[in-house]
Structure 1
Amino acid sequence: MERRQIEQSIDGLPDQWSIETIGFGVIAAAIRTTELIQKRHPERIIVIGIAGLFPVDDPQHQVGTATWFDEVTIDGIGIGQGDDYQSAFELGWQWLDGDSRDGTTLRVMPGPDAHSDSQAAPRQLLTVCAASANPAEAALRKSRFPNSLGEDMESFSVALAANRAGIPIQILRGFSNPVGRRDKQEWQIENALTSVATQLRQVT
């Protein structure tokens, strides 16, 4: 559905571009991205789609809008659940080697609206293995990742695969719902994807 709406919202892509689906979740995204890199040898990767929006005091970021992210991190790689959770980095497991400056976060190529202020906080996306089921879970995740603006289930995997292959990557996500709100009647998927398409036109 996301791919179809994006294609319909953009009046023609450059000939050298292709839109591919990478599946659902961190495992499928990692495998599919690796397959596509080996098959197509892209010069650049742009991750597009929907994400949940954490509460933020910024009118620029609302449900139905889209944004380019500066970095992506991941939750769920470690031990325990809830308040007992400890990340792999906290346990001393350097599983990302040289890909990350802090053991959990990957920098990505800035979007066309990149901050001119070098001191501005990076726009961070949080990738998870299972999305927040309710506002309480969303609040717990936000407390562990206070800099995260959105929640998705694929982007970290794509970024890691791209980094390992030496391919620049950008991440553009539309906010379809508040993180932890699972009633899809309240979601704004169409508006979010239309916003993604509008932002994507800036780089086509």
Structure 2
Amino acid sequence: MLVVVAVATEAEAVLRGAGADRVRVVTAGVGPAAAAAATAFALAEQPHPLVLSAGIAGGFAPRAPIGAVVVADAILAADLGAQTPDGFQDVAELGFGTVARRPPPAAVALLAGATGAVVGPVLTVSTVTGSAERAAELAARHPGAAAEAMEGFGVAEAAARFGVPALELRTVSNAVGPRDRAAWRIGEALGALERAFSALPHHRLLEEALNG
């Protein structure tokens, strides 16, 4: 399978866990645009039956505490839209786009069961949350949100253009909210990422669930 990460440390954790014989890892760079471009290039270069967006993320406490694994049942573009007098409206509400990609539930359940993951929406943002107010706003707009990252929706959009299903798996390094770098646990999250990929189901099982 094709695994798309943002940075080299994530790629290294994935490869330590899964091994180069089980996955092809692409380091895309940070953000949805870079992720979409790298995913599209990789799929054009070599077909893959499925794509997995992976890496570390912020978790919405208490649903996804530090060290937790999260598997997305919805991959959402959380800040793609417009601010209006009535509040934020996403591009789907405005009538000219989509903000959600939803992996097949059977594949989500298989991946989550194998990795011990929390299942919930993972939000893709272009600007990482840095305040309690924005964290509360996102949680209110996306009930049950489990994590916030910066690449998943870009990966899923590119995969959709190629007719390839996409999943997203994240491990939590910090709580979504005020930026407190002293509280980040990046090493712990990378360790959790490695362990999750060591427990990854065989790609054929995931393909069957994705297509089933």
Q: Give the letter aligned to residue 71 of structure 1.
A: A
Map of 2:206 onto structure 1 = none
Counting matched residue pairs gives 186
Q: Secondary structure at the match of 2:147?
A: strand
Verify the 8 A CA contact 1:71 1:122 in the aligned structure 2.
no
Q: Which of the pair has the greater relative contact order for Cα pairs under 8 Å at 6+ separation?
A: 1
In 2 relative to 1, CA 193–111 (structure 1 residues): closer, same or farther, beyond 3 Å?
farther
Verify the 8 A CA contact 1:68 1:171 in the aligned structure 2.
yes
Map of 1:19 onto structure 2 = 25
* Greater per-residue strand proportion: 2
Task: Tell me how far apart the structure 2 counterparts of residues 111 and 166 of structure 1 sit (CA, whole Å).
Answer: 21
Map of 2:182 onto structure 1 = 185
Task: Tell me how far apart the structure 1 counterparts of residues 152 and 91 of structure 2 sit (CA, whole Å).
Answer: 19
State the Cα distance separating 1:81 from its structure 2 match. 7.1
Map of 2:12 onto structure 1 = 4
In 2 relative to 1, CA 86–11 (structure 1 residues): closer, same or farther, beyond 3 Å?
closer
State the TM-score, normalized to the length of structure 2: 0.78
Match 1:34 to one of 32, 40, 50 = 40
In 2 relative to 1, CA 55–172 (structure 1 residues): closer, same or farther, beyond 3 Å?
same
State the Cα distance separating 1:129 from its structure 2 match. 1.2
Match 1:62 to one of 54, 60, 65 = 65
Q: Give the letter aligned to residue 70 of structure 2.
A: T
Q: Deviations over 1:2-25 (max 9, x none)?
A: 222333x327332x5221111101
Q: Does 1:126 align with 2:123?
A: yes
State the TM-score, normalized to the length of structure 1: 0.81
Q: Deviations over 1:164-189 (max 9, x none)?
A: 21112221100110012322221111
Task: Tell me how far apart the structure 2 counterparts of residues 34 and 177 of structure 1 sit (CA, whole Å).
Answer: 29
Q: Give the letter aligned to residue 159 of structure 1.
A: A
State the Cα distance separating 1:113 from its structure 2 match. 4.5
Unaligned runs of 5+ in 2: 1-8, 203-212
Task: Tell me how far apart the structure 2 counterparts of residues 21 and 113 of structure 1 sit (CA, whole Å).
Answer: 22
Map of 2:108 onto structure 1 = 110
State the Cα distance separating 1:150 from its structure 2 match. 0.6
> Counterparts of 1:67-78 in structure 2 under 5 Å?
67-78=70-81
Verify the 8 A CA contact 1:124 1:148 in the aligned structure 2.
yes
* Greater per-residue helix proportion: 2
Map of 1:101 onto structure 2 = none
Determine what percentage of the aligned residue pairs are the same residue: 29
Unaligned runs of 5+ in 1: 97-103, 116-120
Verify the 8 A CA contact 1:125 1:152 in the aligned structure 2.
yes
Verify the 8 A CA contact 1:65 1:191 in the aligned structure 2.
no
